[in-house]
């Protein structure tokens, strides 16, 4: 298909990013990226439900641990590389 876009269903896409534990009740959350390549320049941003960035950082290894002092609530963790957003994940922090 020249000049068009390809549409894939959710069943066709493999999840590249995992965030665990989710929900979490502590200060440690791990981001795991399949097919991790340092040259891709992965980074993460955490947003509250108002869309405000509450913290962000670079992902320097296949698994990065986020230590934070955020209040309990629902957040969006956005994973991106130098070109695009790879995935947005809803994260629930219970304590």
Task: Kindly tell me if the per-residue pLDDT of 53 is higher than 70.
Answer: yes
What is this structure's pTM? 0.78
Q: Is residue 44 part of a domain?
A: yes
Question: Following DSSP, what letter does each residue of 25-61 receive, concatenated?
Answer: -SSEEEEEETT--GGG--EEEEE-TTS-EEEEEE--S
Given strand 63-67, what is the order of strands in its sheet? 17-20, 28-33, 63-67
Q: Is residue 74 part of a domain?
A: yes
- What digits encode the pLDDT tens for the residues 23-50? 998 778 888 887 767 677 889 999 999 9
Q: Give which of 30, 16, 17 is closest to 68, Cα–Cα.
A: 30
Q: Is residue 2 part of a domain?
A: no
- Structural domain range at position 59: 15-93
Encoding tokens for residue 23?
């929900």
pLDDT of amino acid 33:
83
Domain count, the chain: 1
Q: Is residue 10 part of a domain?
A: no
CATH of the domain at 25: 2.60.40.10
Q: Is residue 5 part of a domain?
A: no
């Amino acid at each position: 298909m020249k000049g068009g876009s390809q549409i894939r269903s959710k069943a066709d896409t493999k999840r590249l990013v995992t965030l665990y534990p989710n929900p979490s009740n502590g200060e440690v959350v791990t981001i795991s990226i399949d097919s991790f390549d340092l040259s891709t320049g992965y980074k993460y941003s955490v947003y509250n439900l108002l869309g405000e960035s509450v913290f962000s950082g670079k992902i320097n290894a296949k698994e990065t641990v986020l230590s934070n002092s955020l209040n309990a609530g629902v957040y969006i963790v956005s994973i991106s590389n130098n070109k695009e957003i790879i995935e947005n994940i809803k994260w629930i922090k219970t304590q």
